[in-house]
Amino acid sequence: MLQSIFLITVLSFLAVYLSYFIYIKRNVSKPWNINVDRNFEPKISILIPIHNEENRIESKLENIKCVSYPAKKMEVIIADDCSSDNSIIKVRDFMQKNSDLNIKIVEQKPRAGKSATLNKALQTATNPIIVVSDADTLWPSDILREALPYLSDRKVGAVTGRGIHKNATDSWVTRSEGSYLQLVNLLRLGESKIHSTIRFEGGFCAYKREVFKSFDCETGADDSGTALNIIQNGYRTIMIPDAVFYTDFPSDLIGKFRIKVRRANQLIHLHVKCIKLLLKGRLRLPKRIAIPEITLFIFAPVMFLILVITSVGIVILTPLSPIGLAILVVTISLLIFARQFFFEILINNFILLYALLTFLFKKRYIAWDKR
């Protein structure tokens, strides 16, 4: 019985990952079915949400100032979620020294979370393109030139960028996360080529103002949740691989765990919303993308737990059986020849499982936490 459960689970687990990966891989190399106007240069409002970012906000504004885009076509809105440090003082000092840059401050009091703060800033924005960027990320000078032309297509409602870790070689944690990101970005690109991805990143997102009413407050994922809402409004949301931005990632396991559990909890909430829409026949994200994504976030963690429990049970109870020996050989081989890959799979599935439990126990991450 235990061996049967193991075999069914491992085959299902591999089928989900391998079949979707092969399908995505086939689409990654296909051309975009999008009209891209490289001369597209709209007026933009850049929203920067902050909470206690006094150590970062000046360098963030300096970075925005150096972006290759006409200053007269940009407004920068600092969306402050009740900071208790000197963040706003630093912003005002920068404004005095850089009057050529159109900067506004919107303050949210009391603290209400990132999405609510962005929505307050959205009411102040005056331009047709809304760009959002976290304070702890830096842009290369050409990011707007790389990303915004895709919004010239009437079918595209939003675009996001590809994050690169500045400290990718700091530790085994950052190195393994880099490998994981390569896989995730491959999936995001393939989904974008097929139709849309809802895995948006807060380091760089650009939205057409006309295609959404507000940032998503329901799931806590202001970026990905808003992307899903835009898809529901009949538009595509895509990842542009050449629109890169830079950020730091925790070099210790505890820091990684905290960030990824919060993000996984939000994405699980988002995919539960997809399930509800799917059951009602209202989901506009294509099923060939939605169903594998729902499986990966909702069902794969449970399958992973069953796989671990049955594997341990088989090795303990029948270590010399063909399946028991196979489990031992595969595990030892992975530890010797693909240790980083093996541990990354274990860690990420454990994080997904823990995040699923936090979701089931109604834990929500609406207001951001400091890293």
Q: What is the pLDDT of residues 273-310, one digit of tens each?
A: 999 999 999 999 999 999 999 999 999 899 999 999 99
* Domain assignment present for 335: yes
Q: Is residue 19 part of a domain?
A: yes
* Judgement on whether residues 95 and 220 belong to the same structural domain of the protein: yes
197 and 147 in a common domain: yes
**Which whole number is the average pLDDT over 229-248?**
97
Assess if residue 254 is contained within a domain. Answer: yes
State whether 18 and 162 are in the same domain.
no
> Which pair of structure tokens corresponds to residue 24?
């995505």
* Last residue within a domain, chosen from 279, 302, 319: 279
**Together in a domain, 18 and 49:** no
Whether residue 303 sits in one domain with residue 261: no
Question: Would 209 be classed as within a structural domain?
Answer: yes
Total domains in the chain come to: 2
pLDDT digits (tens, 9 = 90+) for 34-83: 999 999 999 999 999 999 999 999 999 999 999 999 999 999 999 999 99
Question: CA 245, 248, 252 angle in degrees (round to 5)?
Answer: 150
CB 82 within 8 A of CB 51: yes
φ/ψ (deg, to 5) at 169? -105, 15
Residue at a domain's end among 279, 300, 322:
279
Q: Residue 202 domain-assigned?
A: yes
Residue 102: its pLDDT value, please? 96
Mean pLDDT rounded to a whole number for the chain: 93
Same domain, 310 and 219: no
For residue range 129-146, what is the model confidence (pLDDT) as tens digits?
999 999 999 999 999 999
| Dihedral sign (CA 304, 309, 312, 317) | negative
Answer yes or no: do 59 and 151 share one domain.
yes
Q: Are 259 and 250 in contact (CB under 8 A)?
A: yes
Task: Check whether 365 has a pLDDT greater than 80.
Answer: no
Kindly state whether residue 69 falls inside one of the protein's structural domains: yes
Task: Tell whether 87 and 16 lie within a shared domain.
Answer: no
Q: Domain of residue 328: give its range.
A: 2-24+286-360
Residue 85 CB burial class (10 angstroms; 0-12, 13-18, ≥19): middle
Q: What CATH code is carried by the domain that includes residue 216?
A: 3.90.550.10
Decide if 371 is inside a domain. Answer: no
- One-letter identity of residue 291: I
Instruction: At 122, list the tokens.
Output: 């959205």
Instruction: For residue 218, give the DSSP letter.
Output: S
pTM above 0.85, yes or no: yes
Q: In terms of domains, do 155 and 194 share one?
A: yes
The last residue of a domain, from among 279, 303, 332:
279
210 and 134 within one domain: yes
The answer to whether residues 312 and 219 belong to one domain is no
